[in-house]
Structure 1
Amino acid sequence: MLAALHHRNFRLFWFGQMISLIGTWMQNVAQGWLVLQITNSPFLLGLVSMLGTLPVLIVSPIGGALADTLNKRTVIILTQVTAMTLAFVLATLVLTKHVQYWHIVILASTLGITMSIDAPTRQSFVVEMVGKKDLLNAIALNSSIFNLARILGPALAGLIISAIGIVLCFYLNGISYLAVIAGLLLMRGNFSPAKKQRARVIEDIRDGFGYARRDKRIMALITLVAISSIFIMPYAMLMPVFARDILHVGPKGLGILLSAAGIGALIGALSLAIFSSYKKKGRFVLVGSVVFTTAIILFSFSSSYHISLLLLLFVGWGMVTQNASINSLLQTRSPDHLRGRIMSLYVLSFMGMMPFGSFQAGLLADHFGAKMALRIGGVIVACITYFIFTKNKEFISMEG
C-alpha cells in the first residue's frame, strides 16, 4: 500500500505536498467566501474561478513541452516560489482592507498561468521518482494527501474565518509553500531530461497532440476527464451558494461540506493504493464515473444538510477513482519522451475545461438556480459516459 514511499525523493515530495495542499485548500475556501462577500453574485464567483483556470488552455501544452526538455525539479521550485508570492500579496491586500474584486481576478489569473506550467511538470515528474512499477501507488498516495487536504483545509478555513478572520487563511497558505520547496531542494539525483536535443516548442506540442490523436484509448480517457471538468467539477465552485442560500449553514458548514467530499476522495485514493496491482484499470474508470454522476444528480435534489454530506462522500470517492485511474493509464500508455506532453493534455482537459465549467455553471445558477445547474451537468456526463463505454466495450478491460 505504501510502496512508493520507499523511494526517498518521492517521500520528501509527498510530505512537503501534504502541508502545502492544506494551505491551498484553505485559500480556495477563503477566496470563494471573499468573492461572495464582495460581489454577492454566483456569476462573478464563477467568473473568477473561470479566469483563474483559463490560462491552462494556452499555457499547459507549453508547460508539457518544457517538462520534456527542462529539469523538472527546477521548474517546480520556480512555480512554487511564484505561487507563494501571490498568496502573500493577496493576504496583504485583505489585511490592509484594499482588496477589490479585480485584484482577486488578476492574482487568480496569474496563479493559473503558474499552475499551468507546474501541473504537467509535476504529473510527469512522479514516474521519475518511483518508476512505472510503483506509479499507480504513487498517484494514489498523491491523491490521498490531496484529499486529506480537502478535508482539513476547508474545515480549518471555516473555523478560522468564523473565529479570527479571512486574512489568516491567505497568510498560512503562503507559509505552507515552504514545505514543498524544502522537500524539492533536499532531493538527490539527476533530473535533467533523458533526451538532450531540443526541438522547437511548437513542434514538440504538435508531436504530443498527434500521438494522442492516433490512440483512441488516450482520446477517450481525455474526453472523460474534459466532460467531468466542465459539468461536474463546478459543484465545488457553487458550494458557497449551497452553504449560504440552500442549506443555510454558513462558513463553518461550507468547510464541512467540502471536507465531506474530501473524505470520500481520501477513501477512494486509499482504496486505489491498496488495489494498485490490479491490472484492469478501465473498470476503475467506469465505476468511478457511474458513482460520481449518480451522486451529483441526487445531491442536486437535496435540501437536507446531512443527506448532502453523505452524497458528497460518494461524489469525492467517484471523482478520485476516475481521475487517478485515468492518470495512471495515460502515463503507462505514453512513451517516456512524450509523457510530459501527454500529461499536459490531461491537465488541459482537467484544469483547462474548468473555465467553461465555471462559466456555464455560474450562468445557469444565476438564471435557474444552483441545484438545476448541477442537475443538468450530471445528466450530460452520465449520457456521454454511457456512450463512450457502450461504443468501446474493450475500454473496460484497459490495463495500466
Structure 2
Amino acid sequence: MPLPRAFAPLRHSVFRTLWLATLASNIGGWMQNTGAGWLMTSLSPSPLMVGLVQAATMLPVFLLALPAGALADIVDRRLFLLGAQAWILLMALILSALTATDSIGPWGLLALTFAIGAGSAMNFPAWAATTNELVPREDLVGAIALNGIGFNLARAVGPALGGFAIAAAGPEAAFALNAIAFLILIMALIFWRRSEPPNRMPKEHLLSAMRAGLRFVSASPGMRAAILRACAFFLFTAAVWGLLPLFVRQQLGLGPQAFGMMLGIMGISAVGAGFALPALRGWLDRSGTVFWASLLAAAAMGILAVSHHWAPAAIGMLCYGAAWIAAGSTLSAAAQLAAPAWVRARAIAIYQLSFFGVMALGSALAGWLGGSFSVPLALGLAAAGCAIAAFLVRGWRIDSLALAEAPAAAASMPQPEAPADELRGMLGEASGRVMEVVRYRIDPAERSRFLALMQEVRRVRLRAGAGSWQLWEDVAHPDRWVELWTMGSWTEHLREETRLTEADRAALARAAALHRGEAEAGPEAARFLNVNP
C-alpha cells in the first residue's frame, strides 16, 4: 500500500531514522526548556531572571549561526553533527547532576542553558543542509514539511512530558530525559553512513568561508527573495508569540490551562497543515503558498484581536498554526533549493539568522505595543502589517529556482592559459589576490543585450567568491570590452570553478556567445597575480 503523499519522504530509511531521532531530541529540548524555566522560579523568581532563561536559549543563534554554517560546510557534516549532539548531551548531564545535588544557582543555570543553546545553534544549519542529502529533490519540500511537523509535535508533547517529569522527580528528571533523547540522536548519527563527494581542494578557512557565504547570499536573487519574504512574514506573525500570554490572561480572562490549550490547538493545526501541504502544492506554487499563508495569518491575528471568548480565539489559533507551518516550511525549502551544496549550510544559517532576528524584533515590538496601549490594538496592527507586507513583497518570486537544473548553453567558455612553470611555486593559499580578466568583442548593435547578460555574469562571479567585479568599455573601440574580477588567492580561484552550478555556466556561456572575434573564437581569458615589490 503506497504511503500518503505527506509521508512519502519517510520511505527513505536514513531520513526516517534521523527524523524519528530528531523528533526525540526536539521533545527533549522542550522538556529542558520547561525544566529550566520552572527551576528558575525556585532559584530566583523575579520576572527578569525567568525571562533570561529564554534569552539564554536564543542568544547563541545570533552569535553562532554564521560560523556554525561555515563549519558545517567545510568539515565532515556527520562528524560535526555528532560533535554538536555530544556537547548538548554533556551539558544536559552536568545540569541534571548539579540540580539533583542542589549545587546549581541562577547564574549557573543560565550559563548551562546558554551552553545547551550553543549546541543547538551549531546543530540548526548543519541539520537543515543535511536534508538535501537524505531525500531526492522531488521529496525535499515534503521532508522539510515533515521536519516542521516533528518540531510542532515536539512543542506540543515536550512541555507536557516535562511537566509530568518535574512533578514526579523534579527538574533534574527533565534534564536527564533531555540527555537520553540526544543520546538516541547520537546513535542514529553513528549508524548513518554518509557518502561525501570527493574534494581535492584544501579545506576552506573559517573566516574566508564566512565571507564566501555572505557574498553568495548577497548575489543570489533566490536567497534574497526567500530572506525578504521570510522577514515580511515573521516580523508581523511573531506578535502572537509575544502577546499570547497577555492575550489569554487579560483579553480572555483565563488561566494557564487556557494558555496551554491555545498552544496545543496551534500545534495540532500546524501538524495537520503540514500533512496537507503536498496536496496544496498541486494548486499553488511556492510564492503563492507563502502569499496566501500570509493572508491567512493576518486573518488569524485579526480574529484574535476581536476575540473575548475562547471559542473564536481557538479558531484564530487554528488558522495561525496552519499559516505558520505552510509559510515556514515553504520558505525554508526555497532557501535550501536556492543554495548549492558547497555553501548550503552557510546560506541556511544566514536565512535562519534573519528570521530569528525579525521574530525577536516583532515579538518585542508587539509586546511593547500591547503593554503601552492594548493587546487588541497590537494584534490588529500586526494583522494589517502582515497583509500589507504580503502584497508589497509578492513580486519577489521564490519559484525561479528550477533554473538551477537548466542545461548550459552550447557556447565555448573562455579558458585562460596555464600558469608559467617558473611561477607555479608562488601559487597557493598564500599567493595573494588573483585578478581574472576576460576580453570580449561585441557587435555595437548587441550592446544593450550584452549589458543585460553581464548583470547576471556579475552575480555569478560574486556567488562563486569574487571580492570585486568590474566591466570596462573601450572608448576608442566600442566593440571591445574587458571584464575584471578578483579572488582572494590562487586556491580561491581554483575553488571558483567547482562552485559554478549548471545555471551559472549557462549564464556565462550566453554572454560568451555574443563574442565576435577572429574566426568566431571565444573571448580571451587571462589571470594575473598581485605582486607588491
Unaligned 5+ segments in structure 1 are: none
Q: Which AA in structure 2 matches 1:189?
A: R
- Distance of 2:65 and 2:313 partners within structure 1: 34
Check the 8 A contact 1:52/1:355 in 2, yes or no.
Answer: no
| Residue deviations 1:113-170 (CA, integer Å, cap 9, x gap) | 2222211111101111113222112111212222222222234345556677555433
1:23 aligns with 2:28: yes
Which of 160, 172, 180 does residue 177 from structure 2 map onto?
172
Check the 8 A contact 1:22/1:153 in 2, yes or no.
Answer: yes
Q: Which AA in structure 1 matches 2:263?
A: L
Q: CA deviation at 1:211?
A: 2.4
Q: CA deviation at 1:296?
A: 2.6
Q: How does 1:262-341 map to 2 (within 5 A)?
A: 262-275=267-280, 280-341=285-346
Q: Which residue matches 1:8? A: 13
Aligned CA distance change for structure 1 residues 76 and 288 (closer, same or farther; 3 Å): same
Aligned CA distance change for structure 1 residues 7 and 20 (closer, same or farther; 3 Å): same
Q: Which residue matches 2:158? A: 153
1:124 aligns with 2:123: no
Q: Which AA in structure 1 matches 2:32?
A: Q
Check the 8 A contact 2:85/2:186 in 1, yes or no.
Answer: yes
- Distance of 1:8 and 1:311 partners within structure 2: 37
Check the 8 A contact 2:69/2:345 in 1, yes or no.
Answer: yes
Q: Which residue matches 2:87? A: 82
Q: Which has the higher strand share?
A: 2
Q: Which residue matches 1:380? A: 385
Q: CA deviation at 1:270?
A: 0.9
Q: Which residue matches 1:135? A: 140
- Distance of 1:352 and 1:361 partners within structure 2: 14
Aligned CA distance change for structure 1 residues 63 and 284 (closer, same or farther; 3 Å): same
Which of 226, 232, 254 does residue 237 from structure 2 map onto?
232
Check the 8 A contact 1:265/1:317 in 2, yes or no.
Answer: yes
Moved more, 128-137 or 217-226: 217-226
Aligned CA distance change for structure 1 residues 96 and 137 (closer, same or farther; 3 Å): same
Q: CA deviation at 1:233?
A: 3.0
Q: CA deviation at 1:188?
A: 2.0
1:56 aligns with 2:61: yes
Aligned CA distance change for structure 1 residues 101 and 363 (closer, same or farther; 3 Å): farther
1:144 aligns with 2:149: yes
| Residue deviations 1:271-309 (CA, integer Å, cap 9, x gap) | 124455677211111122221232134324433233323
Q: Which residue matches 2:353? A: 348
Aligned CA distance change for structure 1 residues 296 and 23 (closer, same or farther; 3 Å): farther
Which of 196, 199, 203 does residue 198 from structure 1 map onto?
203
- Distance of 2:51 and 2:387 partners within structure 1: 23
Greater gyration radius: 2
| Residue deviations 1:237-269 (CA, integer Å, cap 9, x gap) | 554445555545544443332221111111121
Q: CA deviation at 1:68?
A: 1.3
Aligned CA distance change for structure 1 residues 352 and 223 (closer, same or farther; 3 Å): same
Q: Which AA in structure 1 matches 2:141?
A: L
Aligned CA distance change for structure 1 residues 234 and 89 (closer, same or farther; 3 Å): farther
Output the aligned Cα RMSD. Answer: 3.2
Q: Which residue matches 2:471? A: none
Q: Which AA in structure 2 matches 1:235?
A: V
- Distance of 1:244 and 1:86 partners within structure 2: 35
- Distance of 1:269 and 1:374 partners within structure 2: 25
Moved more, 266-275 or 281-290: 266-275
- Say which SS state the counterpart of residue 352 (structure 2) adopts: helix
Q: Which AA in structure 2 matches 1:285?
A: V
Which of 112, 120, 123 does residue 115 from structure 1 map onto?
120
Q: Which AA in structure 2 matches 1:330?
A: A
Check the 8 A contact 2:69/2:347 in 1, yes or no.
Answer: yes
Check the 8 A contact 1:292/1:314 in 2, yes or no.
Answer: yes
Unaligned 5+ segments in structure 2 are: 403-533
- Distance of 1:90 and 1:253 partners within structure 2: 31
| Identical columns (%) | 28
Moved more, 358-367 or 76-85: 358-367
Give the number of aligned pairs.
396
Q: Which AA in structure 2 matches 1:201?
A: L
- Distance of 2:112 and 2:235 partners within structure 1: 22
- Say which SS state the counterpart of residue 397 (structure 2) adopts: helix
- Distance of 2:241 and 2:367 partners within structure 1: 12
Check the 8 A contact 1:86/1:111 in 2, yes or no.
Answer: yes
Answer 1 or 2: higher relative contact order, Cα 8 Å, separation at least 6.
1
Check the 8 A contact 1:72/1:121 in 2, yes or no.
Answer: yes
Moved more, 43-52 or 343-352: 43-52
Q: Which residue matches 2:397? A: 395
Which of 246, 260, 263 does residue 258 from structure 1 map onto?
263
Q: Which residue matches 2:448? A: none
Q: TM-score, normalised by structure 2?
A: 0.66
Q: Which has the higher helix share?
A: 1
- Distance of 1:324 and 1:289 partners within structure 2: 13
Moved more, 161-170 or 83-92: 161-170
Check the 8 A contact 1:70/1:193 in 2, yes or no.
Answer: no
- Distance of 1:39 and 1:374 partners within structure 2: 29
| Residue deviations 1:186-235 (CA, integer Å, cap 9, x gap) | 11232477574323322222222222222334213212323444443363
Aligned CA distance change for structure 1 residues 80 and 278 (closer, same or farther; 3 Å): farther
